[in-house]
Structure 1
């Protein structure tokens, strides 16, 4: 499989990249700084910015699937990049995209019709990141793509344990955290097995 990867130097993106390489896939990754990724025969790195439509087109060209592990990073990079990614995919007739979101954009259990970050279910006072991910969800929902948004809750560093729970559009009841390793592992499975099409997936222990 040929994977176009955005956010390959981030915490989750790096681990998705390593899983893809380990399992024999070919990856093209768009990065701001090539020196942050080790060279590998299965990996092609393109130096550039995800907000640049030409860099996005070069990254996605020839891909079977697109993976975005872009973070908000207190900027609008995520919402600036997604329109370019969606447009390029549509022009190239590439349908499958998997992104890493946040549990804040899952449906609230206590107030149906609202996102978790809009209710008391979310403990975070700052909503900038959740709002960015909500815009991505809305853009993907309006597209004709086969999308999945993996929505982890509190995300500490740590290896994959494998005992996590997942639920469509909701955070599993009582879920408090999920490691970076398990988030990457689940996202990789979604990419390679075409699971959870056109839905948000909450993931937690």
Structure 2
């Protein structure tokens, strides 16, 4: 596939870019600072600011799918407008874990130990997901990570979930950026969660 990665210079975006190229996809890697984008066969670095839907649409024209690894200061409306203008029908989003359930009816963000400093950023992700849930003309998928996503090895191992936080036997929810990227590209290829949210963790 020809895949555009938005935020391709960040931790998640750069790993997703590498994973796509590793599997033979053609990657249009878009970031405000293209000099920070990973290099390699199949990767074309492109300068672009996702806050401008008209400019972004120009960068997306001709791709089969878009994977967004952007922060949530870029709204769902901005991103969807750009996809519609470019004629792209598939969107996968690097989401947040805050809206995952940790108990029946209780989200991670509602937990008493959820860090207050992360709350505003987390609410942006929740708003983005809610906006996507009303969309039926774009084939979207929202990928909520584990509670902790961090540098680490590429093992190729993970467990899937939908709306509930996935934890290990010790109650810890974590995944490396490299394995997060594997799960994202697996979803791109297998298309298991159309117009839905999923999660993955060890």
How far apart are residue 39 of structure 1 and its match?
A: 4.4
The answer to whether 1:195 aligns with 2:188 is no
Say whether the 8 Å CA contact 1:68–1:100 is kept in structure 2: yes
Find the aligned partners of 2:78 and 2:162 in 1 and give their Cα distance: 27
Q: Distance in 1 between matches of 2:150 and 2:42?
A: 29
Q: Distance in 1 between matches of 2:172 and 2:59?
A: 35
Q: Encode CA deviations 1:111-156: one digit per residue, 9 max, x unaligned.
A: 41x5321234x63223012111111101211122221111112112
Stretches (4+) displaced over 4 A:
38-41
Aligned residue number for residue 108 of structure 2 = 116
Select the structure that is richer in strand.
2
Q: Given that residues 149 and 199 in structure 1 are in contact (C-alpha distance below 8 angstroms), is that contact kept between their aligned partners in structure 2?
A: yes
1:63 maps to which residue? 63
TM-score, length-scaled by structure 2:
0.87
Aligned equivalent of 1:33: 33
| Residue correspondences, number | 196
Superposition map of 1:171-190 within 5 A: 171-173=165-167, 174-190=171-187
SS of aligned partner of 2:179: helix
The aligned residue for residue 42 of structure 1 is 42
What is the correspondence of 1:66-145 to structure 2 with a 5 Å cutoff? 66-72=66-72, 76=73, 78-79=74-75, 82-106=76-100, 108-112=101-105, 114-120=106-112, 123-126=114-117, 127-144=119-136, 145=138
How far residue 162 of structure 1 moved from its aligned partner, in angstroms, is 3.0
Residue 24 of structure 1 deviates from its aligned partner by 1.6
In the alignment, what sits opposite 2:11? 11
Determine helix, strand or coil for the equivalent of 2:194: coil
3-state SS of paired residue (2:46): strand
Mapped to 2, the partners of 1:184 and 1:146 lie a distance apart of 19
